[in-house]
Amino acid sequence: MAYLNEAQHKIVSDAVAAAELTTSGEIVTVLADRSDGYTDVVMVYAAAGAFTMMSLFALFPAPFMGLWDSLIGGWMHEWTTGELASMTIGLGLLAFTITWLKFLYEPLKFFAIPGPVKTARVHGQAIKHFKVGAEARTHGRTGILIYLSMREHRAEIIADRPIAEKVPADVWGEAMVDMLHHIKEGDIAEGMAAGVRDVGIVLSEHFPRADDDENELPDRLIEV
């Protein structure tokens, strides 16, 4: 899913190019639709639904058995052990399937994913992108990644080790605030550009641009 058009991509890319005019740091920007499919979490919800349904049948069997008897003609009969077991398994499978199908609805799924899980998955995916696109890819190891994951409503700023050793992680908080302020208002391109500008200011203080610096990483926004 593409969130930005060509003109909006240019806003971010131009911000990166401008920021790098004053620093030897190399800024990489990534915009992702999501950081994970959360299939494992959906499986946990579906299994919990199945277990809950089977537990309810074990605790209160009469309503379930009465309903089943009414569906097959209304005559009460003696339930065998096999029938009880089949009913238990059948209810569990039904609950599992219904829960799984409900979570095919994306807004519900992302609403139900616990916040800490989203944060961890976004951070993990940001690290992966950083390792591929920025880590140790520059002469002075001065790469930094700005990563935005739309479905989870989360962002990450990951820096190469020489940057992290000089700039505490909380310094990037202002960039995060500026970036998310625009994004919450629906302006993704300007939000990422604002984050880039703030990161560029910090980098220029600690890693000023030298006369022989070259642009080692692409300025373009990567949308995945």
pLDDT per residue as tens digits for the range 164-183: 888 888 888 888 888 988 99
Q: What is the pLDDT of residues 84-117, one digit of tens each?
A: 788 888 889 999 999 999 999 999 999 999 999 9
Record: fold of 6-36+114-223? Diaminopimelate Epimerase; Chain A, domain 1 (3.10.310)
Query: Hey, how many other C-beta atoms are within 10 angstroms of the C-beta on 179?
Result: 26
**In the prediction, which pLDDT does 126 show?**
93
Instruction: Give the per-residue pLDDT at 1.
Output: 66
Helix (H) or strand (E) holding 158, with range, is strand 154-159
End-to-end, the C-alpha distance of the chain in Å comes to 8
Q: Measure the CA–CA gap between 190 and 179, rounded to whole angstroms.
A: 8
Q: Read off the pLDDT of residues 62-73 as tens digits, 9 standing for 90 and up.
A: 777 777 667 666
| C-alpha span between 82 and 170 (Å, rounded) | 61
Give the pTM: 0.82
Residues spanned by CATH 3.10.310.50 within the chain? 6-36+114-223
- pLDDT category at 56 given cuts 50, 70, 90 is confident
The tokens 């022989």 sit on which residue? 212
Structure tokens at 99: 């829960």
Cβ 148 vs Cβ 155: under 8 Å: yes
Residues sharing a CB contact under 8 Å with residue 107, sequence separation 6 or more, in sequence order: none
